[in-house]
Structure 1
Amino acid sequence: MPDSCVYVNGETGQFWVIDYRLYDPDGDGQSKLDHVAAMLNGVIHSKQLPFTMVLMDSWYATQKLMGQIDQLEKLYYCPLKTNRRVDDSGGAVPYMRVVELVWSDEDLQQGKLVKIRGFPKDKKVKLFRVTVSTNRTEFVATNDLSQADTDVVQDVCGIRWKIEEFHRELKQLTGVEACQCRKARIQRNHIACALLVWSRLKTMADQSGRTIYQIKHGMLSDYLIEQLKHPSVQMSLA
């Protein structure tokens, strides 16, 4: 699957895929973090799209990328891996794993200021403990130090799942993973075509008020009905 940059309208829930990259370090020498940084710069300098915050998963929560977002004067919300080491004591005790932090009732409601190991000495972030499900908790870091409501953070992080929605739809409706060709160029063309198909289906779904699944299956149903009535290939029995 490509690394994708999804542009989300937080009020309407609509989203658009505005950029993507294919991970090929042997071909271009670029890491996944390099691709994300390039896409982020593209949104600012090439596409010039207005946005307030950047949402990403824990794999991308690096000092370099978070620092880049700081320099762009944008907000970020990203979960930290449970073994990430932080300090909430102001240097009074050694760094500890984020999962080992002690949370008061006030901390659970309003978050706490922490320093992430490896970050500049004067750089702190706000950390929130967010319950995702019965058996899952995320520790979400943000550079929005004025944020003081865990429920709001949970809602903001929920927007991040739009990219999972996109990946699920792309896999289930376009056959993006079904190409059997071995040449890299053909694979790239296949992925690009799959993204164009998804984009068209999504546009039709938004315009008609139906889901993208209803659009796709409706098209298949209409095609089968038409072929049964007026076959494009004449069949015969031997």
Structure 2
Amino acid sequence: MNPKFQRFGVIDYRIFNADVDGKTKIDHVKDMLQNLVYHQLFPFGRVLMDTWYAVNSFMLYIDSLDRIYYCPLKKNRLVDDTFAKGKDKPIELLEWSTEELEYGKIIKIKGFPAQKKVKLFRVAISTNRTDYVATNDLSQSSTNFVQEVCKIRWRTEDFHREIKQITGIESCQCRKARFQRNHIACEMLVWIRLKNLAYQTGQTVYQNKHRFLSNYLIQQLKRPSLPMCLV
């Protein structure tokens, strides 16, 4: 995701198949991050994720790569803001001062090394929803900034919705794993092409797909590529 131009795309992906390779989803994400860092394929400074990936091992791994993470934590995640042994409590039970609501608070997550602290922000998403977002950037002091960063993460949901609705990526009828992988790769390429056209034309991927199908249908009605006759 390029926050300056508000554009996003796919630079890598993995197919989860633990029965074959024995890798968890966390393992796949680590592989992709390591690939980016080792080969310097794409410069990045921040890693965003949802609560499912916000596990201790992955957060510490990102920290070891000298990258910054922003991740929402579940409300029952045990943390400590007093730094007293045995004082861990669920995040939702933390008390927040007016200053901490604006600037965040330093906490320790249960299971983290003793010296590893993170900064926690209480972000109001809506009137009935509040997220607790942790980052290893201890210098961060703006809840509003954290809220804007978290909005970028929703582009992942946009991608999932678009590729399912415009490419039929879930509709593969093949049974062999190789053909299924080829199908997924082809649909990825279709989405990338339509997304690039959307950025160039200022239209959505849905408008571009409809335009292509409409033009093709008109062309075929005028000059059919496959002549047919009725008997």
TM-score band w.r.t. shorter chain = over 0.9
Q: Flag structure 2 segments of 5+ consecutive residues without an equivalent.
A: none
Alignment equivalent of 2:186, drawn from 177, 193, 199:
193
- Residue 92 of structure 1 deviates from its aligned partner by 6.5
Which SS does the other structure have where 1:103 is aligned?
A: coil
Residues 59-115 of structure 1 deviation map (CA, whole Å, 9 limit, x = unaligned)? 111221111111111110000111110001121662111111111211111111110
1:73 aligns with 2:66: yes
Aligned mate of 1:154, from 147, 156, 165? 147
Q: Aligned partners of 1:27, 1:178: CA distance in 2, in Å?
A: 22
CA distance in 1, matches of 2:85, 2:141: 24
Partner of 1:140: 133
Residue deviations 1:109-144, cap 9 Å, x none? 111111000000011100011111222211100011
What is the correspondence of 1:220-231 to structure 2 with a 5 Å cutoff?
Answer: 220-231=213-224
Q: In structure 2, do the counterparts of structure 1 residues 221 and 188 end up closer, same or farther at CA, with 3 Å as the change threshold?
A: same
Residue 237 of structure 1: how far off its partner (Å)? 4.3
| 1:216 aligned partner, one-letter code | K
- 1:1-238 aligned within 5 A: 8-91=1-84, 94-238=87-231
Task: Report the TM-score, using the length of structure 1 for normalisation.
Answer: 0.93
CA shift at 1:185, angstroms?
Answer: 1.1
Amino acid at match of 2:154: W
More off after superposition, 171-180 vs 100-109: 100-109
Deviation at 1:9, TM superposition (A): 0.6
Q: Which amino acid aligns with 2:223?
A: H
| 2:212 aligned counterpart, secondary structure | helix
Percent identical residues: 57
CA distance in 1, matches of 2:178, 2:151: 35
Cα distance in 2 for residues equivalent to 1:177 and 1:133: 32
1:209 Cα deviation after fit: 2.1
Shift of 1:224: 1.1
Q: Secondary structure at the match of 1:76?
A: strand
Counterpart-to-counterpart distance in 2, 1:222 and 1:134: 45
Shift of 1:161: 0.8
Comparing both structures, which one devotes a greater share of its residues to strand?
A: 1
Q: Which range moves more in the overlay, 90-99 or 157-166?
A: 90-99
CA distance in 2, matches of 1:176, 1:106: 47
How far apart in 2 are the matches of 1:27 and 1:231?
Answer: 46
Letter paired with 2:182: N
Superposed CA RMSD: 1.3
Amino acid at match of 2:49: M
Deviations 1:7-66 (A, max 9, x none): x11111111211000110000010001000000001111243211111011111122111
Alpha-carbon displacement from aligned partner over 1:197-238 (angstroms, at most 9, x marks no partner):
111111122222222111111001101111121222334445
